């Protein structure tokens, strides 16, 4: 009983401390609406300055453009606009120099910048926010940041594609085993395998290019939700900030995070593709077909002989986390009523993490590829004559036999080799003719991996000329990014 009373007293004292703790929301928070204090835990729970400070440059760019726009409609005089812009440029210089000081009450990047502006130029700084809301401000900052990040990632994708194409060209003559269901299938070129992964990366780059125009629309001037009451020229704002156009509905403008969700979905697919490539390399590294450079491997704390492909395993693992980010944000968005809700603040951390992860993964993937060493001897050793069983069937097709029949005949040859416990390429002409009399002496030329590979000469095939076409296409595409 006494412990319950003590707990009750503690709760009362805590409530009293919260009540007298001061004005709510800081200098640029909720303002005069609230007379009580904010729970310190709530202040920490509510603030976003710890992560949205990454958008300091975009926030200041938006404010400079807005100062110009409000001067155009007479809210600010030319002198006031110039003074505000000069102050914002000083704030920009502080951030760029790393001297900007975040203070208590700086709830987010917007309040931090405006607080510092007011310190520099006085009460005039309070005019900047006329007709503007943090709702359209944060939407603007985030769109600017995302578009810049996406354009930067395109450059990283170009680096990966160019490096991979050059690597593939260098090793164009190396053959390897191709697999389906992880079972030996047909011989292919090592460079063809690498270009297969780059084909997926090129699609990823195309998709990212397609995201940018949708993200690059200006929401500034939408206000809190209903629009701007002072007739601010939104097309002027869009042009000043480098947007392609303006968002069409003010209510949608402040709550639309499709562009964030699209990027998170995009980054999860990119990392899935990198994960698949990493898995292939892990398997080939295990088979000693590819050697991963020491820079991207680690040893064991116990076993001296170990060389673990940790970089590739981490690439593989990042895809799962990426999927979680994407699903997590969409789960947040699905139940929101129209207009801005504080839940939308939860888009920043997964967005920033996703961009950082993508850039790191692309850098690692590029490094792994340009430093790895294919082992032609072991790659050839992984080839087996049974991979040429389809070529044996094709031999009879060229003599006019229907493929369904030749498939059955070739299968009988495979079975005979297995039952005789010999390799299929050691079957004699007599043995082959006992299965089908249409086999002739030139059938023995079928057992040539290079010939098999070169026969796959249709567009996209593994013949040397076709792989070179893929390499050149990859190089040309990379130059467009």
Q: Which two tokens stand for residue 73?
A: 């409609």
Instruction: Report which of 175, 168, 173 is spatially closest to residue 198, judged by C-alpha positions.
Output: 168
3-state SS class at 162: helix
Residue 87: CB atoms within 10 Å = 24
* pTM: predicted TM-score of the whole model, two decimal places: 0.90
Beta bridge partners of 125: none
Pairing of strands 217-218, 175-180: unpaired
Instruction: Report which of 302, 298, 329 is spatially closest to residue 314, judged by C-alpha positions.
Output: 298
- The third-level CATH classification (topology) of the domain covering 385-480 is Ribonucleotide Reductase Protein R1; domain 1 (1.10.40)
Q: What is the mean pLDDT of each successive set of 10 residues along the chain, which is 481 residues long? A: 46 39 41 64 80 97 98 97 98 98 94 98 97 97 98 98 98 97 96 98 98 98 97 98 98 98 98 98 96 90 84 96 97 96 96 98 98 96 96 95 95 96 95 95 95 97 98 98 97
Residue 10 CA to residue 1 CA, distance in Å, equals 14
So what's the pLDDT on residue 37?
66
Residue 172 CA to residue 170 CA, distance in Å, equals 6
Instruction: Report which of 257, 267, 61, 273 is spatially closest to residue 153, judged by C-alpha positions.
Output: 267
Q: How far is CA 288 from the centre of its chain?
A: 30
Nearest-10 crossing angle of helices 389-397, 403-420: 140
Instruction: Report which of 349, 202, 209 is spatially closest to residue 270, judged by C-alpha positions.
Output: 202
Ordered by start, the domain boundaries in the chain are 49-127, 134-381, 385-480
CATH code linked to domain 49-127: 1.10.275.10
Residues 6+ apart with CB under 8 A from 218: 140, 143, 234, 237, 238, 241, 243, 245, 246, 247
Catalytic residue list: 181, 300
One fold for 49-127 and 134-381:
no
Residue 147 CA to residue 355 CA, distance in Å, equals 11
So what's the pLDDT on residue 35?
64
Residue with tokens 């986390």: 321
pLDDT tens digits for range 116-136: 999 999 999 999 999 999 999
Residue 464 CA to residue 471 CA, distance in Å, equals 10
Q: Which two tokens stand for residue 303?
A: 């076993």
pLDDT tens digits for range 253-299: 999 999 999 999 999 999 999 999 999 999 999 999 999 999 999 88
Residue 269 CA to residue 326 CA, distance in Å, equals 10
Beta bridge partners of 246: 218
- Domain 134-381 in CATH 1.20.200.10? The answer is yes
CA distances from 261 to 61, 155, 238 (A): 24, 21, 22
Residue 64 CA to residue 45 CA, distance in Å, equals 30
Instruction: Report which of 204, 66, 223, 195 is spatially closest to residue 139, judged by C-alpha positions.
Output: 223
Residue 362 CA to residue 364 CA, distance in Å, equals 5
Residue with tokens 């930067």: 152
């Amino acid at each position: 009983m006494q412990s319950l009373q003590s707990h009750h007293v503690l709760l009362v004292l805590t409530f009293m401390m919260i009540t007298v703790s001061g004005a709510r929301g800081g200098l640029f928070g909720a303002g005069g609406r609230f007379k009580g204090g904010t729970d310190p835990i709530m202040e920490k729970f509510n603030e976003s300055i710890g992560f949205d400070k990454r958008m300091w440059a975009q926030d200041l760019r938006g404010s400079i453009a807005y100062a110009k726009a409000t001067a155009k409609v007479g809210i600010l005089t030319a002198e006031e606009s110039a003074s505000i812009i000069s102050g914002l440029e000083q704030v920009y210089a502080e951030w760029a120099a790393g001297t900007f000081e975040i203070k208590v009450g700086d709830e987010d990047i917007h309040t931090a910048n405006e607080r510092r502006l007011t310190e520099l130029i006085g009460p005039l700084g309070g005019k900047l926010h006329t007709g503007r809301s943090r709702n359209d401000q944060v939407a603007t900052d985030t769109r600017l940041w995302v578009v810049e990040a996406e354009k930067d990632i395109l450059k990283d994708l170009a680096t990966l594609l160019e490096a991979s194409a050059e690597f593939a060209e260098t090793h164009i003559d190396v053959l390897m085993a191709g697999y389906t269901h992880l079972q030996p299938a047909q011989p292919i070129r090592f460079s063809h395998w690498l270009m297969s992964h780059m084909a997926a990366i090129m699609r990823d780059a195309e998709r990212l290019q397609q995201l940018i125009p949708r993200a690059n629309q200006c929401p500034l001037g939408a206000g809190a939700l209903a629009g701007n009451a002072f007739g601010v020229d939104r097309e002027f704002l869009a042009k000043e900030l480098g947007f392609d156009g303006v968002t069409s509905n003010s209510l949608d403008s402040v709550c639309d995070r499709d562009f964030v969700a699209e990027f998170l979905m995009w980054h999860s697919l990119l990392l899935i593709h990198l994960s698949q490539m990493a898995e292939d390399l892990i398997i080939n590294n295990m088979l000693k077909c590819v050697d991963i450079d020491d820079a991207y491997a680690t040893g064991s704390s116990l076993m001296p002989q170990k060389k673990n492909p940790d970089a590739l395993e981490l690439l593989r693992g990042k895809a799962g986390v990426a999927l979680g980010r994407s699903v997590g944000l969409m789960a947040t968005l699905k139940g929101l009523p129209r207009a801005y809700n504080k839940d939308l603040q939860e888009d920043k951390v997964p967005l920033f993490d996703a961009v950082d992860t993508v850039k790191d993964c692309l850098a690692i993937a590029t490094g792994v590829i340009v430093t790895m060493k294919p082992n032609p001897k072991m790659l050839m050793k992984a080839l087996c004559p049974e991979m040429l069983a389809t070529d044996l069937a094709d031999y009879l097709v060229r003599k006019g036999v229907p493929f369904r029949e030749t498939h059955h005949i070739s299968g009988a040859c495979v079975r005979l080799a297995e039952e005789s416990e010999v390799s299929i390429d050691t079957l004699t002409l007599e043995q082959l003719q006992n299965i089908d009399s249409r086999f002739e002496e030139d059938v023995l030329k079928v057992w040539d991996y290079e010939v098999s590979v070169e026969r796959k000469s249709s567009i996209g095939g593994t013949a040397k000329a076709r792989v070179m076409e893929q390499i050149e296409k990859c190089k040309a595409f990379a130059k467009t990014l």
